[in-house]
Amino acid sequence: MSTYLARRLLYAALTFVGITIATFALIHSVPGDPVALYSGKMNASPAVLDAIRREHHLDRPLSEQYLHWARAVVRLDFGTSIAARRPVTPEIVRRLPNTLLLNGLALLLAATIGIPIGLWSARRPGRLLDRGTAVAFFLLYSLPSFWVALLLMQWLSVRLGWLPLFGMTSDGYGSMGAPAQVADRLRHLVLPVITLAYGQLAIFARFSRSAAYEVIRQDFITTARAKGAGEGSVLWHHTFRNALLPLITLLGLTVPYLISGSVIVEEIFQWDGIGLLFFDSIRARDYPVAMALTVVTAIATLLASLVADILYAVADPRVRLEREEA
């Protein structure tokens, strides 16, 4: 197992380097000069603009810029934002918990609703529930997130006035008591969480349905029923436990989806997380911020894939034995 982990970490490191090189080249190929955009806001003199370019090594060839950036990242130094003129790391640290809260709740909602629906659909394949959920979730997954977000804002915020339109808190949040602050934050979470979760809900439901359908036809399920086990016990104790392996793999694939989706969702709802920061950094051509966020998201994605792989080996002794032998 240790050899397997070492090999996986090596692959992850090589993948990470490849991601940073590709992203660095892609970001710098986007038309627009970040220093020129900065000068438009601050009316800085040409001498100041040249100093900013030298400070961020923008006057050097692209390969030298990347090497300088990589050496700084090894020291955990992500530099200074070109647009805000502030260190990048504290800003990411401040916003990261907001994105983790949003994505964590969306993942929990999608799994809590999607997996039971998938299991119950597999229990009655081909019937009305199975066919109806298949069509509903196919349509649900096909809807673009920005359109769903605007639709939810139009109906639940503008017309009905049930939920806040955007932002993380209401006016006067600081003067509220603790229970009122919690309730206000939860109300602001509803729309972005639903927008992030609906697509993953469809994936969890159909994925768990497929996995459970393969398990539920096995002989040991028939034996459990013959011994008098109830349908609930058969479904959750026997079927669900043996259908976990594909769901563990799905868990590793869910993190990149949520991270990429949160960029659009946070921009629409003005949620003060790293997704909104990423969007603003791309728009401002703020290279240090964009690359720092690339590092954070790449590490999160690779770690999620690695954890899912390890959990897969833990859940299936056959896989663990194969990897220990390797």
Q: Rounded to whole angstroms, how far apart are CA atoms 1 and 57?
A: 43
Q: Which of 309, 286, 316 is nearest to 82 (CA)?
A: 286
Higher-pLDDT residue of 27 and 252 is 27
pLDDT in tens, 274-297: 999 999 998 888 899 999 999 998
206 CB-near residues (< 8 Å, 6+ apart): 118, 134, 137
CATH class of 95-314: mainly alpha
Q: What is the mean pLDDT of residues 37-44?
A: 65
Strands (E), 175-309: none
pLDDT at 320: 53
pLDDT in tens, 75-129: 888 988 888 888 999 999 999 999 999 999 999 999 899 888 888 888 777 788 7
In degrees and rounded to multiples of 5, residue 80 shows phi and psi of: -120, 140
Write down the domain spans for the chain.
95-314
